[in-house]
Amino acid sequence: MIFSGAQAGLDELSSAALNLECRVCGDKASGYHYGVHACEGCKGFFRRTIRLKLEYDKCDRNCKIQKKNRNKCQYCRFQKCLSVGMSHNAIRFGRMPQSEKMKLKAEILTCEREVENSQLADQKTLAKQIYEAYLKNFNMNKTKARAI
C-alpha cells in the first residue's frame, strides 16, 4: 500500500514537471533556459536581446506579460526576464559558434576582472582608512607602552 501511494505521488510529480509554465509569460516552458524555465519565444527573445545588445524604449506602465500579449512591450518583457532570474551568465555554450563562444568567454572574464579590481581598490581604501583611524585614536609609543 505504501508503495502505491508513493508511486501515485511520483506520477503527479512527473506530470506536473511536464507542464511547467514559462516564468516570463506563462506559456508552456520548453526547458530550462538562461537559468529559468522558459518557453521558446522568451528564450529566443532574451538571447537576441543579449547577443545583439538591444535597448528598448523605456516604459513606465509595468505591463503585464502574458502569452497573448508578450510581443507588445519589449521593454517590460525584458525587465520581466531579468526579474524572474534570466541571466546571460547562465548561457550554455552548446550550439554556439566557436568564435562567439570565445568572444563571450572573454567578455565574462573582463567583467569578472573589473569587479575584482574594483573590490581590491575598495579593500585598499578600507585598509588605509582603518590604519589612519588607528594612528589617530591609538597612537602608542614606547613611553606610553611602558607606562601601562
3-state secondary structure of 145: helix
Give the domain ranges of the chain. 19-92, 95-148
CA–CA dist 110, 121 (Å, integer): 16
Question: Domain spanning 19-92: which superfamily?
Answer: Erythroid Transcription Factor GATA-1, subunit A (3.30.50.10)
Tell me the whole-structure pTM to 2 decimals.
Answer: 0.53
Inter-residue contact 17 to 46 (CB < 8 Å): no
Question: Which grid cell sits at 104?
Answer: 563571450
Burial class of 20 by CB neighbour count within 10 A (0 to 12, 13 to 18, 19+): middle
Interacting residues of 78 by C-beta distance below 8 A, sequence separation 6+: 45, 46, 49, 56
DSSP assigned state of 32:
E
Written as tens digits, the pLDDT of the chain (148 aa) is 444 444 444 444 443 445 689 999 999 998 889 989 999 999 999 999 988 999 999 999 999 999 999 999 999 999 999 999 998 877 665 666 777 778 878 887 887 888 888 888 889 999 999 988 887 777 777 777 677 7
Phi and psi dihedrals of 37, rounded to 5? -75, 125
